[in-house]
Amino acid sequence: MIVKRWLYKETPAAEKVEALSAAINVNRFISSILLQRGIEDFETARNFFRPSLDNLHDPFLMKDMHKAVNRLKKALDNEEKILIYGDYDVDGTTAVALVYSYLRKFYPSCEIYIPDRYAEGYGVSLAGIEYAEANGFSLIIALDCGIKSFELVRVATQKGIDFVICDHHLPEETVPGAVAVLDPKQEDCQYPCAELSGCGLGFKFMQAYAKLYRDEKELFNYLDLVAVSIASDIVPIVDENRVLAYFGLKKLNENPLPGLKALKDIANLKSDLDISGIVFTLGPRINAAGRVAHGRAAVELLVAKTEAEALQLAEKINLKNEVRKEFDSSITEEAIAMIETNNAVAMRKSTVLFKNTWHKGVIGIVAARCVEKYYRPTVILTESNNKITGSARSVYGFDLYNAILGCSDLLEKFGGHKYAAGLTLDASNLEAFQQRFEEVVSSTITDDMLIPVIDIDVQVRFDAITPKFLNVLKQMGPFGPENQKPVFEASGVYVFNSLTSFKDRHIKFLAKQEGCESIFQAVGFDLGDYYEMVARGDSFRMAFTIEENVYNGMTSVQLRIKDLKFD
């Protein structure tokens, strides 16, 4: 059992709490949480609780947007063939599906291209450019990739093929010589929301075109794709992303596109999806196509026009997801065994594991599983096309991208974010990379970073948790990075009744707090190790979130335990 570190957010000034509570008629616990999230007055609270599509930023604030729209308009006017090119993960496939579905409504000469994960690898490929040349395409719109494709963009230009790059990954000091580069992370880009998903970026490009030449409301039909990308790519759900996620979830739950409806049906979902629901149900199924076969299948599903066609495609993708689960499970077991049986590996502050037979499509998932279990920066590597390729995942507060940058002389290519990255290297550099990565991590990571963190928003009394309280909390969604579901702490909690352990992993009981009348059902997943301590009858501190529990048509308030402390 890994002991977790509880971090307490700063308590706002009492006068600010009282003023906001009076302004928007909520209790002080809610006001404290809102103030911690930068919501300080009636106006910002209204925008937060009542998102509006009118609050989307002007797409032309983004660097090169005018150039991108002008090149697209020229292609449409001249009846050029347009290749819509995207990565094979959820973000890339939803981005391609959105741009293609929108354009094909009024322009027939466009086609999709998803690179093969195994034959071509991530990003823009020479095979993709050769395909464009052989088939007469003169414009490639690259979605969720391309920001580091300097040489390949140059090759395409020599062949008379223009690029518009729409990428949200970190650029280098210079960018490829495309006709236009849409990436809000460029230092000289003044766009207000730098953390768009790849699909969100595709949406903004099409929105800019629509503002000048069509009705932008047509694009709102594809907001469910944007919500799926925002959830799956783990981008911050603040600012424009929160508006897009809010309306995208509404569309997904009320009137989804045929492909997404089919995926929901296949997953047998009975209740409305939230961000977390997408991450655990739709995202893995869409990803499965590119992980164990070809990502094009995911796009074909997402652009399906009829429910019958979509259901047929969704069934095939669901089968691929079952295969993906088997790979995931067996490789994770092997990786854990490699750590447990090698004391030198177990004692490191990083994990770098390699096996040439591991399936490339699931190594990112395996890396995430290893981080969950051992909580340290992890790289899982396998062999592909005579090279070693891998996925990396980090822990809270540690910049993985910078650590990999410190090993860049040993790598052929790499890219990613603070918490997730991909890399490729020659087999001759494997041992040197393992050693260097451990050196870089050991010299930069702090002891605190190697302990899992639970962020506590506010301490609360059970009697304050009322149906109205829960209703206001629900309106603070969608929840995700930088707008997480509030975590509360209550002290003096004890088991009132009905303590049970189920599946040898989880605990459930009726919880009561000293001095309070309210009693709530509390459930702790993967907290079975606490059963004996809870059973002793002593009081404890509990970190938890608050949720609705619907059972046999009855709705009640349930506390989802994050951790327990016995002082």
547 inside domain: yes
Query: Alpha helices of 233-374 — where are they, by DSSP H?
Result: 239-254, 258-266, 275-277, 283-292, 296-302, 307-340, 343-346, 363-374
500 and 376 in a common domain: no
337 inside domain: no
Helix (H, G, I), strand (E, B) or coil at 221: helix
Other C-beta atoms within 10 Å of 346: how many? 12
DSSP single-letter state for residue 4: P
469 and 384 in a common domain: no
Helix (H, G, I), strand (E, B) or coil at 223: helix
Residue 298 domain boundaries: 59-318
437 inside domain: yes
64 and 41 in a common domain: no
Q: Tell me, what CATH number does 365's domain have?
A: 3.10.310.30
Q: pLDDT per position in the chain (567 positions), as tens?
A: 678 999 999 999 999 999 999 999 999 999 999 999 999 999 999 999 999 999 999 999 999 999 999 999 999 999 999 999 998 899 999 999 999 999 999 999 999 999 988 788 778 999 999 999 999 999 999 999 999 999 999 999 999 999 999 999 989 899 999 999 999 999 999 999 999 999 999 999 999 999 999 999 999 999 999 999 999 988 999 999 999 999 999 999 999 999 999 999 999 988 899 999 999 899 989 988 877 777 899 999 999 999 999 999 999 998 988 888 898 899 999 999 999 999 988 899 999 999 999 998 889 999 999 999 999 999 999 998 889 999 999 999 999 999 999 999 999 988 877 888 999 999 999 999 999 999 999 999 999 999 999 999 999 999 999 988 999 999 999 999 999 999 999 999 999 999 999 888 899 999 999 999 999 999 999 999 999 999 998 999 999 999 988 777 788 899 999 999 998
What pLDDT score was predicted for residue 1? 67
Q: Tell me, what CATH number does 536's domain have?
A: 2.40.50.460
Amino acid at position 45, single letter: A
Q: Tell me, what CATH number does 306's domain have?
A: 3.90.1640.30
476 inside domain: yes
Structural element, H or E, at residue 34: helix 28-36
Handedness of CA 66, 68, 74, 79 (dihedral sign): negative
CA distance linking residue 112 with residue 297, whole number of Å: 11
235 and 295 in a common domain: yes
Beta strand 110-113 pairing with 5-8: unpaired
188 and 170 in a common domain: yes
19 inside domain: yes
93 inside domain: yes
Residue 291's contacts (CB-CB under 8 Å, 6 or more residues apart) are: 117, 320, 324, 327, 359, 361, 362
140 and 219 in a common domain: yes
303 inside domain: yes
71 and 25 in a common domain: no
Radius of gyration of the chain (CA): 25
8-17: which pairs have CB atoms within 8 A and are 24 or more residues apart? 8/456, 8/489, 9/36, 9/455, 9/456, 9/457, 9/458, 10/36, 11/458, 12/36, 16/40
What pLDDT score was predicted for residue 502? 85
Last residue of a domain, one of 318, 350, 377: 318
Which of these, 545, 546, 540, 544, lies nearest to 514 by C-alpha position?
A: 540
471 and 396 in a common domain: no
CA distance linking residue 434 with residue 392, whole number of Å: 12
273 inside domain: yes
For residues 428 and 461, the answer to whether their CB atoms sit within 8 Å is no
What's the total number of domains in the chain?
4
360 and 269 in a common domain: no
CA distance linking residue 480 with residue 54, whole number of Å: 22
CA distance linking residue 319 with residue 288, whole number of Å: 9
269 and 120 in a common domain: yes
480 and 412 in a common domain: no
CA distance linking residue 433 with residue 487, whole number of Å: 39
Helix (H, G, I), strand (E, B) or coil at 403: helix
102 and 77 in a common domain: yes
